[in-house]
Amino acid sequence: MLPITGFYAGLLALILVALGIHVGIQRARTGISILHGQDMNLATAIRRHANFTEGVPLALILLAALELNGASRGLLHGLGAALVLARISHPLGLQHDNMRNPLRGIGAGGTTLITIIAAVALIWGYLSK
């Protein structure tokens, strides 16, 4: 059983669905079926969705592995909550005309940091046995 990972997976799934709906709305608005047709709002929506799918699955796998290996509830909730906040921040900050939005950095950097912490914790746990 993975109740903590399951909780965060559920929250993150809702964010993914929202991002996907936004892509669909943009496609309907523009009539563009494939790629982005040089529409920067559609391109931005696509990248927001894609960036989520590029980083979140591995982070959730690492969270699940930590939970299965008996990591503390505090660590699991800390990483899970941080991941949710990072993945909410990132699409809010990802804009085609502003590379330096702080929310983008918080989202991307936060996701990377969470992944590194979880990976190191798993490696450390294995090596220390």
| pTM, two decimal places | 0.94
Measured distance CA(104)–CA(112) in Å, rounded = 12
User: What pLDDT was estimated at residue 33?
Assistant: 94
Measured distance CA(100)–CA(67) in Å, rounded = 35
Judge contact between 94 and 21, C-beta under 8 A: no
Residue 117 belongs to domain spanning:
3-127
In the chain, the number of structural domains is 1
Percent of the chain exceeding pLDDT 90 equals 98
Which CATH number characterizes residue 23's domain? Answer: 1.20.120.550
pLDDT in tens, 57-85: 999 999 999 999 999 999 999 999 999 99
